[in-house]
Structure 1
Amino acid sequence: QPGGRTLARDSYRSLVNLLDEVSRTEPGTDFGIPDLPERVYASGFEFVEFTADETSGAQLADMLSAMCFRMERKHVTKSVELWRQGAINIVVNTEKDGFAHSAFLGHGPSVCDMGLRVKDADQTVQRATALGAPDFSQPVGTGELDIPAIRGVGGNVVHFIDEKSDLHRVWDIEFEPVAKTKATQPAGLRRIDHLAQTMRHDEMQSWLLYYISTFEMAKSPIVNVADPSGVVQSQAIESPEGEVRLNLNGAVGHRTLAASFLEDGFGAGVQHIAFQSDDIFETSHQLLKSGFPSLTIPENYYADLQATFGLDDDLITQLRRGNILYDRAAGAEYFQIYSRPIFNGFFFEIVERRMGYAGYGARNAPIRLAAQSKTQSVKEVQTQ
């Protein structure tokens, strides 16, 4: 019974994590549990890796180019590319064997791996596996690094990069620079702001427990997001300084866009990645010049926005021109641009946070979902 195994694993993880916390606050207690390193402080995303074939890989390359990423390096022996902008590393893997290819066969083009920056990669794996996470390894070629990793919930892989060894030099050791054909002006994307993982609603607790027992992360209250065809529950978790933010989105029912993503991708996975900009309007200007396929936001949204927040005409014009969504809370502001969906409903987001805005623009989610639903409907009509 898969459900029984999941319950047993979650119960074990929860119990060991609780006993570990008690033993740290009550010296001298001995519960006979494995000797665990402390919860891990993840200080950022080192990379996100996509698995693709030639067709979807070209589609992804077009989208990355439209966001002004540069393909900077290629793996010395494999069909793997490194695309970069700011502190963002996007890996595109079109290998015909290995874990990434297996992930492609199982889920289609998708995020198959992510790397987190940690203080000690080996200790991170030690804690995660002691709490029941399966470790992960695959054959390492000549000159390649054996990067510590585990399997996350849903079968994706999480690698850990530290500076205690050569791990943080992986891009110099395993990859070689490519000749630049033309200069690409960046769009001001600095780092990964957050990553959103979509799953069945009944899987959410497993994912949440996995993250907060392994990593030093806090959770926010669950938010119900209205999809045109139902409800999606969203749970945000993040590291103490916001270096790693994750949104866990649980699909309720079978008709929502989140449920459609699960069906198309044959299970849970990363549905969108948000990049952070320091100046959303400069970024928007560059994106317009580079042909970025932004999600079209309906005109009435901007009229409602002006009425709600009393924004001046010039700002509304700028927002409308760039298909930019806006939110404000306690004087802090948030700006969002979405790409149109690509394979299996995956999409990118670009955000700017001002004055310490801590949320994710939940009030805009129904607008985004309705716009995506409309885009999806148009695509379905065109392919019939």
Structure 2
Amino acid sequence: MDISTVDHVEFQVGDIEATARLLCTGYGFGPLGEGELQGQRSVLLGQGGIRVLLTAGPTGYVRRHGDGLATIALRTSDAAAAYAEAVTRGAHPVAPPAAWRRDDSVVVTATVGGPGALSHRFVERRGDGFLPGGIAETGEPPAGPLLEIDHAALCVPDGDLGPTVRYYEEVFGFKQIFSERVEIGGSAMESMVVQSPSGAVTFTIVAPDPVRRSGQLDDFLRANDGAGVQHLALSTADITESVASLKASGVRFLSTPDSYYEGIKSRLGAIGRPVEALRAGGILVDRDHWGEMFQIFTESPFERRTFFFELIERHGALTFGSNNIRALYEAKERSRAAAEARA
């Protein structure tokens, strides 16, 4: 199965206008078109190489899961063959192959199920257009601060981590490339990373440890009513400038304590950004055998406080900031505690 990259992602939302306004005003996306798909209104947004489809979620979906990332579309050279192969390997069929046509342009799509309510849409493209005859395109993507989709993080219940990893290995041909356990106070989480043979599609799969104290992953699973996409990582060329720009536009990020920055030089030595610039933006830094990376996580923009975004800048690093997973977990726990105090 030749999965090359993430073609687009689709959010199911209760209020398209409000979500589009949030992503355009806050995150720098631009409107590219709109149409009606399977009887539901959809709006296409873009920025750099990122394409986001917003669909007016069916009442049952939004009532059960809230607004969230419902579909990660995978680019392939033959969508019908990929669909047939995935179903043969055990994937749940969601939508059979369908062709979208206009003039000489043809896009073939077919969809199978993933963890929880997540689905994966195979996309085969020949010619121009996002979904010819389905989405009427009206604009070009702006040159904003965000470039590409780096990876997605999927949260699954305890006991589903291993089976979910095997599902991606057996159905899609992904390989497990990393695993880690993180303990924070009385809580703990397990994570495994799977990646497509092309190296361009990466999923971090996380699960809570039920023996330890309930934490933010348990909160996600309750609010989302099961497994789903916890966050989507978007790459940027200059994270300090991007964070400053997004903050000025109203985007809120998780906080990082000053103590984190006091230990950077002793832990990593010289890094490619001034420590004070990272401190000012609340940006995290890590290094692996191949290089360094910078990352930061937003607060959830949705009512149920489930899904959120990550910004990431890589300089050769191939991993996912394993030394920062603890910092993220601690930041989410602080945010969780603050929300409980306000309630």
User: TM class, shorter-chain normalised?
Assistant: 0.7 to 0.9
SS in 2 for 1:379: helix
Q: Is it true that 1:376 corresponds to 2:336 in the alignment?
A: yes
Contact 2:3-2:76 at 8 Å conserved across structures:
yes
Q: Is it true that 1:327 corresponds to 2:289 in the alignment?
A: no
Residue pairs, 1:218-297, within 5 angstroms: 218-253=175-210, 255-297=214-256
Contact 2:97-2:109 at 8 Å conserved across structures:
no
Instruction: Provide the residue aligned with 2:315 in structure 1.
Output: 354
Aligned match of 1:160 in 95, 100, 122?
122
Give the Cα–Cα distance (whole angstroms) in 2 for the partners of residues 219 and 64 of structure 1. Answer: 35
SS in 2 for 1:162: strand
Count of matched residue pairs: 333
Aligned match of 1:342 in 291, 297, 301?
301
Instruction: Provide the residue aligned with 1:88 in structure 2.
Output: 50
Q: CA RMSD in A?
A: 2.9
Aligned match of 1:137 in 92, 95, 100?
95
Contact 1:341-1:372 at 8 Å conserved across structures:
no
| Letter in structure 1 aligned against 2:147 | R
Larger Rg: 1 or 2?
1
Give the Cα–Cα distance (whole angstroms) in 1 for the partners of residues 26 and 183 of structure 2. Answer: 30
Q: Could you say which structure has the higher helix fraction? A: 1
| Letter in structure 1 aligned against 2:308 | F
Contact 2:11-2:67 at 8 Å conserved across structures:
yes
Give the Cα–Cα distance (whole angstroms) in 1 for the partners of residues 51 and 113 of structure 2. Answer: 20
> Are residues 239 and 132 of structure 1, via their aligned partners in 2, closer, same or farther at CA, if it must alter by over 3 Å?
closer
Shift of 1:293: 1.3
Contact 1:227-1:369 at 8 Å conserved across structures:
yes
Q: Is it true that 1:208 corresponds to 2:165 in the alignment?
A: yes
> Are residues 69 and 179 of structure 1, via their aligned partners in 2, closer, same or farther at CA, if it must alter by over 3 Å?
closer
Deviation string, structure 1 residues 171-196 (Cα, Å, up to 9, x no partner)? 4432224579xx96611x21110001
Contact 2:109-2:123 at 8 Å conserved across structures:
yes
SS in 2 for 1:365: helix
Aligned match of 1:191 in 148, 151, 156?
148
Shift of 1:330: 3.0
Instruction: Provide the residue aligned with 1:300 in structure 2.
Output: 259
Contact 1:226-1:365 at 8 Å conserved across structures:
no
Contact 1:336-1:349 at 8 Å conserved across structures:
yes
Shift of 1:289: 3.5
| Letter in structure 1 aligned against 2:199 | G
Q: Is it true that 1:68 corresponds to 2:28 in the alignment?
A: yes
Give the Cα–Cα distance (whole angstroms) in 1 for the partners of residues 248 and 173 of structure 2. Answer: 40
Give the Cα–Cα distance (whole angstroms) in 2 for the partners of residues 80 and 62 of structure 1. Answer: 16
| Letter in structure 2 aligned against 1:373 | E
> Are residues 277 and 326 of structure 1, via their aligned partners in 2, closer, same or farther at CA, if it must alter by over 3 Å?
same
Instruction: Provide the residue aligned with 1:315 in structure 2.
Output: 274
Shift of 1:138: 8.2
TM-score using structure 2 length:
0.87
Range with greater deviation from structure 2 (154-163 or 141-150): 141-150
Contact 2:236-2:242 at 8 Å conserved across structures:
yes
Stretches of structure 2 that go unaligned for 5 or more consecutive residues are none
Aligned match of 1:113 in 66, 71, 77?
71
Shift of 1:170: 3.3
Give the Cα–Cα distance (whole angstroms) in 2 for the partners of residues 162 and 291 of structure 1. Answer: 37
Instruction: Provide the residue aligned with 1:50 in structure 2.
Output: 11
> Are residues 130 and 92 of structure 1, via their aligned partners in 2, closer, same or farther at CA, if it must alter by over 3 Å?
same
Shift of 1:284: 2.8
Deviation string, structure 1 residues 74-132 (Cα, Å, up to 9, x no partner)? 1157421111111111111124x4xxx43223212121112100121111111111122
Give the Cα–Cα distance (whole angstroms) in 2 for the partners of residues 346 and 75 of structure 1. Answer: 25
Contact 2:100-2:108 at 8 Å conserved across structures:
no
Give the Cα–Cα distance (whole angstroms) in 2 for the partners of residues 371 and 90 of structure 1. Answer: 27
Instruction: Provide the residue aligned with 2:84 in structure 1.
Output: 126
| Letter in structure 2 aligned against 1:315 | P
| Poorly superposed stretches of 4+, deviation over 4 Å | 138-146
Range with greater deviation from structure 2 (72-81 or 124-133): 72-81
Range with greater deviation from structure 2 (193-202 or 304-313): 304-313
Q: Is it true that 1:103 corresponds to 2:61 in the alignment?
A: yes
